[in-house]
Structure 1
Amino acid sequence: MAMTMANAGGPYRVPKRHGGTRAFVLALAMHCLLFAFLWVGIRWNNDPTGVDAEIWDMTTQMAAPQAEPQPEPEPEPEPPAKPPEPEAPPPEVVKPPQPDPEIALRKQKEKEKKELEEKKLAELKKKKEEEKKLAELEKKEKAEKEKAKKLAELKEKEKLAKVREAEMKRIMGTAAAGSTGTAARSTAPRLDDGYKAAIVTKIRSFLNYPGQEDVEAVYTITQLPTGEVMGVRKVKSSGVAAYDTAIENAIRNASPLPKRKDGTVEREITATFKLKEMRQ
């Protein structure tokens, strides 16, 4: 101790060796320690991390002890790999419910039937509207025709009235002249057979009588200068009332009667109407 303190601050000096027993014990301890290092080193060689060992001279170690080497820190274990996330399953395809073919066919038939009925109703409605329009048009045309007919009849009546008035004046004038003894002679042409036959032919075309008797009737016809029949007088009856009526109706329906070629007429004509001749 005194030597160590006396050398403090001076150069390092190797201490003197002591007895041999101590040295033997120290040598044995070093060999044991070396054996332990070797055994541990062999064990560590099998370990992937490994451990380095150094051999020190005991004399040097005793002279200047050094710090024991620290074992290298074990590497931190790598974090476990994150397991891959499971893939999301594909979305399930939901199939729409399939309609019953029989129901679909029945609905289609009902729809077609309904459309056909609606079409028929529309056509019927259209037809009725057209018929209504046509009826209104026909009614309007009929009213216009009736109006025109009435107007024509009115004009014809006015014309006939004027002709009758003129004829009556002529007749009255003739009668007045006859009363004084100065009868006026007719300026009309002489009655010819052709003119009379034309009158009878037209009357025959209006005769409506189904009988087959051998009869005849005589009638005197008074007419205006226009050929209009003013009167029908029975001169001789056929003895069959139906035939007499048929002849009289035929005479009136045949008005106006035919004129002569020069446009004149005979004021009075007496004609015989035999049924056999009227049938020819």
Structure 2
Amino acid sequence: MNISADAPFVSRPGSNLIAGALALGVHVVFVLLLVFGVSWQTQHPAPVMVDLWEALPPLPSVAKPARPPTRAPLKTPKPVKAKPAPRPVVDEPPPPKTPDIALEKKKVEAERRQKLQAMQLSEEKARADAARKAQEKQLAEQKKRELLRQMEEEDLTRRMADEVAASEMRQAKLAEMQAKQAEAQAKQAEAAAASKRQAGVASIVGQYRDLISAKVRGNTRLPDNLAGNPQVRCLVKLLPTGEVQSVRVTQSSGNAGYDEAVVRGIWKSSPLPLPGERDARAAFVPELSFVHRPKE
């Protein structure tokens, strides 16, 4: 069967379906490979560390560019001189021997040891000096503390002594004040007692004066022509027993008869009544100033 070129091409349905399925499968595989490749190559970003600076770091020093080496000027060749004639061979001293390496090493080691010992001695001396200075400082501080403590103790002792002296002075002043108060009270009491005693004595003296006046009045015979109430004062000397030793008129009444009558009455009243209390008796013995009035 011959098919001409101008005849239209007719595709089969089965082949189109197979081709479409294959194309679809290729695309699916391509998509899966693409997704798997992208997810497999994806990496998590690494954490970023940030340093915070308070100030900008100094800029690095820029090295100066090296200068190109300068070429030495070309030297002009010197003219070659003619070699002198060879000298005669003379015996020269042998060259000095090279020093032994082991001896040099020992010498260097000995010098190093000496330097090390000197350094050790210097360090030990420095440590000893530091320890001595520290000990001297410690001793000075200890002496200072002891001096301060001694001064504080002396100050405390002085203050205690001052307080004791002040307390003793206060006690002495208080005792003196108490003594003065006691003395004043004693004097007041004594004065009160003396005043009371004097009052008592005066009362006793007054009582016995009244007794003596009554006794003398009872023994006195007044003159008939006596007028008024004349006063006569007599000085009477008495014994401790009350007996009259003498009678003398010291102040007359102006009536001689009345004065003589009173003198006779005193003599007749002997012994006069006297108090038993000594101070009261002293007002009557040894002398009694007796005043008499007829109407009292």
State TM-score, norm by structure 2.
Answer: 0.30
State TM-score, norm by structure 1.
Answer: 0.32
